[in-house]
């Protein structure tokens, strides 16, 4: 148990380090909290002279200080005499007016400093939330594609949204509750002790019981908070998957099934929240119950002092009650601090799991820049398997190599076609060229330099990719074509669109190149999306192009337009083409056939057709059997 507690404290300490850039605002919040507590205490203490003015006759007699009195007693007497003179000098009406004005001033200053405290703290909290979200998003941009094959999109979204909000609750607990409430307790406790230390002592009987119970509740809450956040991640993931796959859901009539599945997740989240609320809300009632017990004892004991011994005046006793009952809300609030810190630590752990992920491809400090492509790309004894079991990839089996002993040279200006049965490793092979993954064994080089020794950014700047799944953004056509370019004249965008056979349909859109095309380009047809993707690659003008079954999902008319645009894009470039339709690669300089992760055939189209029993001939005959 202590190990878990220490781990939670370390996680929480790491969260607090994000506050360092906002130390000036935190200092302002703390300073304002000090003055807020002082004026809150003053506004209550002023009820004593107000009651004396209303119900007593005359000005209180000055306190006489014996010569044997201690230094503190003398200071207390001097302050009391000065305060009484300030409040009660003049007529009773003058004193009443003076007290009312001072009370108004005390409440005004209390609320002014309360506002300043809240503003400075909110600035710090929101700044930390922004910084953590930005750091998370930046980290996601750095992680290799292998990381995303193992994590659900909804889970990652939940990290950036829900978990960061929970972390904010913990910051509030530390720099609002843990500062304001103790200060308030100190101020009102000072008032209570100055009036009657005996009554104050009775009120403190409650604390040992409360602290023990709250510490036990806190650890349970830490565990349940983690479960709750996981349930929310499940909800987010199902929601994201259903929305993006709505067409498939409708086509297969699975609306009721998806509704039931979503309902199961929301029910699990509902139950986890109930458990958290049940645990969290135990602290308040327990504290309040013991506080009421202490309050009843205080009222009885103090009332006897007023009635029998006269050691307390009625106004002082009422002031003491006001002060001691003002202690209850901050004490009650403090009992929730540990719980909120535990919740925050649980959320922080989930955030730091992402930030600490070592998924970024290693890059040496002296990595070279790739400034162009002059000679060849070469695979030398390349083997590859995914480092962990991969979710959602039918071809990735734990422990199996996806690629086996690949030796391949791709010369500058060459058109290389890659074909083979599904699951043979074609896409994995070309994913290694832009270094989306590193080979498990072997070397991949560009112009004789190992890809691991060059910067990833400069390598990818030499490569353009057009895939079957065209990724467009919910932005204008212009910005989608010019994606990745800081400034680009419209003339260059139009020229690229013409070369990609896209200018005609773009001109017919409602706002032309400024038309917003919807999320993932849903307002366009498949062929239109693909042509915009080709225009984007043309505008980038890379020396190496990769085509991953770019026309396999298109109708005949769209395929013709896209294939024509692809042929323009291939001109004077090195091209690697994965093709499902073999008719599109007849004129390739070289064709390799991959099956079971190995290159089993290579040659030109006619050469491969002459190889009896070869996979290429079988694939060709299946497509053109008529």
Task: Determine the average pLDDT of the residues in 270-285.
Answer: 73
pTM over 0.85: no
Confidence of residue 380 (pLDDT cuts 50, 70, 90): very high
Supply the DSSP symbol for 552.
Answer: T
Compare 375 and 191 and report the one with higher pLDDT: 375
Query: Is residue 275 pLDDT above 70, yes or no?
Result: yes
CA-to-CA distance for 104 and 43, rounded, in angstroms? 8
Under 8 Å between Cβ of 450 and 532:
no
Weakest mean pLDDT among 125-139, 374-388, 565-579: 565-579
- Taking only the tens place, the pLDDT of each residue in 305-343 is 666 665 666 666 666 666 766 766 676 666 667 777 777
Q: What are phi and psi of 573, to 5 degrees?
A: -135, 160
Provide the b/e sequence for 309-338 (b: ≥16 CB within 10 Å).
eeebbebbbbbbbbbbebbbebbbbbbbbb
Sign of the CA dihedral with 277 first, then 236, 149, and 424 last: positive
Domains in the chain: ranges and CATH:
19-355 (1.20.1560.10), 413-433+454-623 (3.40.50.300)
Most confident of 6-10, 268-272, 558-562: 268-272
Work out the average pLDDT over 586-608. 88
**Whether the Cβ atoms of residue 493 and residue 481 lie closer than 8 Å to each other:** yes
Number of Cβ within 10 Å of residue 462's Cβ equals: 18
Mean pLDDT to the nearest integer, 524-528: 81
Is the per-residue pLDDT at 253 higher than 80? no
Pairing of strands 590-595, 463-467: unpaired
> Are β-strands 598-603 and 590-595 bridged in parallel, bridged antiparallel, or unpaired?
antiparallel
Distance CA 30, CA 175 (A): 8
Q: What is the pLDDT of residue 284?
A: 62
pLDDT band at 405 (very low <50, low <70, confident <90, very high): very high
The arithmetic mean of pLDDT across residues 364-375, rounded, is: 87
C-beta neighbour count of 447 within 10 angstroms: 14
Comparing CA positions, the residue from 137, 133, 160, 134 lying closest to residue 232 is: 160
Angle, CA 368 vertex, CA 364 and CA 372 arms, to 5°:
145
With b for 16 or more beta-carbon neighbours within 10 A and e for fewer, the 199-216 pattern comes to bbebbeebeeebeebbee
Name the 3-class secondary structure at 521. helix
pLDDT band at 389 (very low <50, low <70, confident <90, very high): very low
| Per-residue model confidence (pLDDT) at position 291 | 62
Crossing angle of the two packed helices 164-172 and 92-142, in degrees rounded to 10:
150
Those residues with Cβ within 8 angstroms of residue 324's Cβ, 6 or more apart along the chain or in another chain:
188, 192, 199, 200, 203, 295, 298
Lowest mean pLDDT among 67-71, 102-106, 577-581: 67-71
490-520 burial, b for 16+ CB within 10 Å, e for fewer? eeebbebbbbbbbbebbeebeeebebbbeee
User: How much is the pLDDT for 450?
Assistant: 92
Alpha carbons within 13 A on the beta-carbon side of 235: 18
Segment among 67-76, 154-163, 416-425, 545-554 with least mean pLDDT: 67-76
pLDDT tens digit sequence for 481-516: 888 777 788 888 888 888 888 888 888 888 888 888
Q: Among the listed ranges 330-344, 414-428, 448-462, which one has the minimum average pLDDT value?
A: 330-344
Supply the pLDDT for residue 383.
93
| Contacts for 129 with CB less than 8 Å, ≥ 6 apart | 164, 165, 167, 168
Taking 50 as the threshold, does the pLDDT of residue 166 lie above it?
yes
Query: What pLDDT, on a 0 to 100 scale, did the predictor assign at position 391?
Result: 34
pLDDT above 90: residue 442: yes
Stretch 113-121: mean pLDDT:
89
Look at residue 466 and tell me whether its pLDDT is greater than 50: yes
pLDDT at position 522: 77
State the pLDDT at residue 394.
39
**Cα first-last separation, the chain:** 72
Q: How far apart are CA 13 and CA 171, in angstroms?
A: 11
Convert the pLDDT of each residue in 178-215 to its tens digit: 777 777 777 777 777 776 666 667 666 655 565 566 55
The Cα 556–Cα 553 span in angstroms is: 10
| Mean pLDDT, residues 557-571 | 72
Q: Label residue 225 by pLDDT band (50, 70, 90).
A: low
- The pLDDT, as a whole number, for residue 343 is 75
Q: Tell me whether residue 619 is exposed, middle or buried, using C-beta atoms within 10 angstroms of its C-beta: 0 to 12, 13 to 18, 19 or more.
A: middle
Q: What is the mean pLDDT of residues 84-89?
A: 61
Structural contact between residues 549 and 467, judged by C-beta atoms closer than 8 angstroms: yes
- For the cut 90, the answer to whether the pLDDT of residue 444 exceeds it is yes
| Edge-to-edge strands, sheet with 376-384 | 403-411, 376-384, 441-446, 449-450
Angstrom distance (rounded) from CA 406 to CA 428: 12
Q: Which residue has the higher pLDDT, 319 or 379?
A: 379
Cβ atoms of 474 and 514 within 8 Å: the answer is no
413 pLDDT higher than 80: yes
pLDDT at 392: 36
């Amino acid at each position: 148990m202590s190990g878990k507690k220490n781990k939670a404290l370390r996680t929480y300490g790491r969260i607090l380090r994000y506050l360092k850039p906002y130390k000036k605002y935190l200092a302002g919040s703390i300073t304002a909290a000090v003055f807020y507590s002082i004026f809150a205490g003053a506004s209550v203490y002023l009820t004593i002279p107000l009651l004396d003015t209303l119900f007593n006759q005359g000005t209180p007699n000055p306190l006489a200080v014996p010569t044997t009195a201690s230094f503190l007693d003398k200071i207390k007497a001097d302050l009391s005499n000065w305060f009484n003179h300030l409040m009660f000098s003049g007529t009773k009406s003058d004193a009443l007016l003076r007290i009312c004005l001072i009370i108004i001033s005390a409440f005004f200053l209390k609320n002014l400093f309360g506002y300043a405290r809240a503003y400075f703290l909110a600035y710090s909290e929101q700044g930390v939330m922004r910084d953590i979200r930005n750091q998370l998003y930046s980290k996601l941009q750095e992680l290799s594609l292998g990381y995303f094959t193992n994590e659900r999109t909804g889970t990652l979204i939940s990290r950036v949204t829900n978990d960061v909000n929970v972390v904010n609750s913990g910051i509030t607990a530390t720099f609002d509750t843990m500062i304001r409430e103790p200060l308030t307790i100190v101020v009102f406790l000072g008032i209570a002790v100055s009036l009657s230390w005996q009554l104050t002592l009775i009120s403190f009987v409650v604390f040992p019981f409360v602290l023990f119970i709250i510490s036990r509740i806190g650890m349970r809450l830490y565990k349940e908070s983690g479960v709750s956040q996981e349930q929310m991640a499940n909800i987010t993931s199902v929601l994201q998957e259903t929305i993006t796959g709505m067409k498939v859901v409708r086509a297969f009539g699975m609306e009721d099934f998806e509704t039931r599945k979503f309902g199961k997740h929301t029910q699990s989240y509902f139950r986890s929240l109930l458990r958290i609320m049940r645990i969290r809300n135990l602290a308040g009632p327990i504290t309040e119950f013991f506080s009421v017990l202490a309050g009843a004892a205080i009222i009885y004991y103090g009332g006897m002092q007023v009635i029998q011994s006269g050691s307390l005046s009625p106004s002082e006793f009422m002031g003491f009650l006001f002060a001691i009952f003002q202690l209850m809300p901050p004490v009650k609030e403090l009992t929730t601090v540990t719980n909120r810190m535990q919740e925050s630590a649980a959320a922080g752990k989930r955030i730091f799991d992402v930030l600490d992920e070592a998924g970024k491809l290693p890059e040496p400090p002296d990595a070279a820049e790739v400034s162009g492509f002059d000679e060849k790309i070469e695979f030398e004894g390349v083997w590859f398997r995914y480092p962990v079991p991969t979710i959602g990839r039918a071809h990735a089996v734990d422990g199996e190599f996806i690629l086996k002993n690949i030796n391949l040279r791709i010369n500058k200006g060459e058109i290389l076609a890659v074909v083979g049965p599904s699951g043979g490793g074609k896409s994995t092979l070309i994913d290694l060229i832009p270094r989306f993954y590193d080979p498990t064994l072997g070397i991949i080089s560009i112009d004789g330099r190992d890809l691991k020794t060059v910067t990833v950014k400069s390598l990818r700047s030499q490569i353009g990719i057009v895939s079957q799944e065209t990724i467009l953004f919910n932005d204008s056509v212009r910005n989608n074509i010019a994606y990745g370019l800081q400034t680009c004249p419209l003339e260059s965008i139009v020229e690229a669109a013409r070369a990609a056979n896209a200018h005609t349909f773009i001109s017919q859109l409602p706002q032309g190149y400024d038309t917003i095309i919807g999320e993932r380009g849903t307002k366009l047809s498949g062929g239109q999306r693909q042509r915009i993707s080709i225009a984007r690659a043309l505008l980038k003008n890379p020396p190496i192009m990769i085509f991953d079954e770019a026309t396999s999902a298109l109708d005949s008319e769209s395929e013709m337009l896209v294939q024509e645009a692809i042929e323009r894009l291939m001109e004077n470039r090195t091209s690697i083409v994965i093709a499902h339709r073999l008719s599109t690669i007849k004129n390739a300089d070289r064709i390799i056939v991959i099956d079971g992760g190995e290159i089993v055939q290579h040659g030109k189209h006619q050469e491969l057709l002459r190889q009896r029993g070869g996979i290429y001939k079988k694939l060709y005959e299946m497509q053109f059997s008529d």
